[in-house]
Amino acid sequence: MINARDLILLGLILSAMLIAVIWPQAGNPFRPFTTFFMMGLLFLSFLPISMESIVRTALHMGLRLIGWLLLKLVLLPVALFFLFRAVYPDYAMAALLLGGASTGVVAPFFSSLVGANTALVVLMVTAGSVLVPFTLPVLVRVAAGQTIDISFAAMALILAQVVFVPLAAAEVLRCAFPAAPERISARSYSISVFFCVAIVLAVFSKYSGHIHRNPSMVVDALLVALLLSLLLFAAGMLISLGECPADRLAAVISLGLINNILVVVFSSEFCGPIEPLVSAIYCIPFFCSIVFLRGYAGWLAGGVTGLRRK
């Protein structure tokens, strides 16, 4: 069930969006540090999880993990592209890019809040970030007939910096100072909230002018973002039927909480205004999903309790 901390998080995020749109200068100080904020979020998420538990989860999941990645990075984006091309063609490319994005770096933070299998979510973040520089350009080329004019090396470098540097730093800290992770984790919630707010301020301040000039496009982009999130969350629920509650939550989080900030970064380089705008607005269903995730976690827990009573 949603609690006071969730409401505070949601209120701060929505307030940051509004402030950035009305007063974009508020986000300017944070723009150069967006990547570092993403790294900080993952670092805090990695701290409570040992490399051993990540490897153990990978071995345990086996083919299921491969199947989830195939669905996440190939099958879903292609299906979403052709669905939107049939009903909302102007937003088909946005659906392909967002549908094919890797799991977002904020996902492990949300996973820890609702009691999901965070090690599994971390695996989806890490493996998806390694694979997406290969899969997404190919999907755009094959499905949409366009070429992403972006350096693979540059994209891989960004992803390696965002994912593997925090992972290595957390492991080094855990080995060198065994007591430090627990102390830092005790304060991780407030730090993570700050990082999330800073990222939202940075992203929305950049598109403030476009939002003011194209209010009707913003409404369409919001509707598309909401529909995409519903479809992605529904896919996560379907593929995890029969799993334990923690893994079912992990599946929903891994598919629905995507790295939309990364899509904002590189779609602004080679696409028109629609794709980066939809990607930025996806922050709204992304952060509001905490309400759904709390409810889904409670429903799963209630189902397990009911089965035990029987």
pLDDT in tens, 3-16: 778 888 889 999 99
> How far is residue 67 from each of residues 52, 131, 233, 234, 240, measured CA to CA in Å?
22, 14, 16, 16, 11
Q: The tokens 């508020």 sit on which residue?
A: 26
What is the rounded CA–CA span in Å between residue 272 and residue 269? 9
**What pLDDT, on a 0 to 100 scale, did the predictor assign at position 224?**
94
Q: Which residue has the higher pLDDT, 47 or 249?
A: 249
Q: With bands split at pLDDT 50, 70 and 90, how would you rate the model's confidence at 54? A: confident
**Coil vs helix vs strand at 270:** helix
Q: Which two tokens stand for residue 126?
A: 């890490």
Share of the chain above pLDDT 70, in %: 89
Domain that holds residue 211: 30-301
DSSP annotation of 101 reads: S
Report angle CA 147, 152, 155 to the nearest 5 degrees. Answer: 110
What is the rounded CA–CA span in Å between residue 309 and residue 237? 24
Q: What is the pLDDT of residues 166-218, one digit of tens each?
A: 878 888 888 888 888 888 877 888 888 898 899 889 888 877 877 777 777 88
The answer to whether 213 touches 89, Cβ cutoff 8 Å, is no
What is the rounded CA–CA span in Å between residue 41 and residue 113? 13
Amino acid at 161: Q
Q: Is residue 10 part of a domain?
A: no
Q: Is residue 110 part of a domain?
A: yes
The answer to whether 9 touches 287, Cβ cutoff 8 Å, is yes
Q: Is residue 198 part of a domain?
A: yes
Q: Is residue 3 part of a domain?
A: no
**What pLDDT, on a 0 to 100 scale, did the predictor assign at position 234?**
96
Q: Is residue 4 part of a domain?
A: no
Q: Which residues pair with 258 in a beta bridge?
A: 103
Q: Is residue 133 part of a domain?
A: yes
Q: What is the pLDDT of residues 140-159, one digit of tens each?
A: 877 766 655 555 666 667 66
DSSP annotation of 104 reads: P
**What pLDDT, on a 0 to 100 scale, did the predictor assign at position 233?**
96
Q: Is residue 101 part of a domain?
A: yes
Q: Which two tokens stand for residue 266?
A: 């590189």
Element counts in the chain: helices (H) and strands (E): 17, 0
If one counts every other C-beta atom within 10 angstroms of the C-beta of residue 89, the result is 9
The answer to whether 111 touches 248, Cβ cutoff 8 Å, is no
- Residue 224 sits in a domain whose CATH number is 1.20.1530.20
**What pLDDT, on a 0 to 100 scale, did the predictor assign at position 309?**
46
**What pLDDT, on a 0 to 100 scale, did the predictor assign at position 42?**
79
Average pLDDT over residues 66-95: 92
Q: Is residue 15 part of a domain?
A: no
Number of domains in the chain: 1
Q: Give the H or E element holding residue 169.
A: helix 152-176
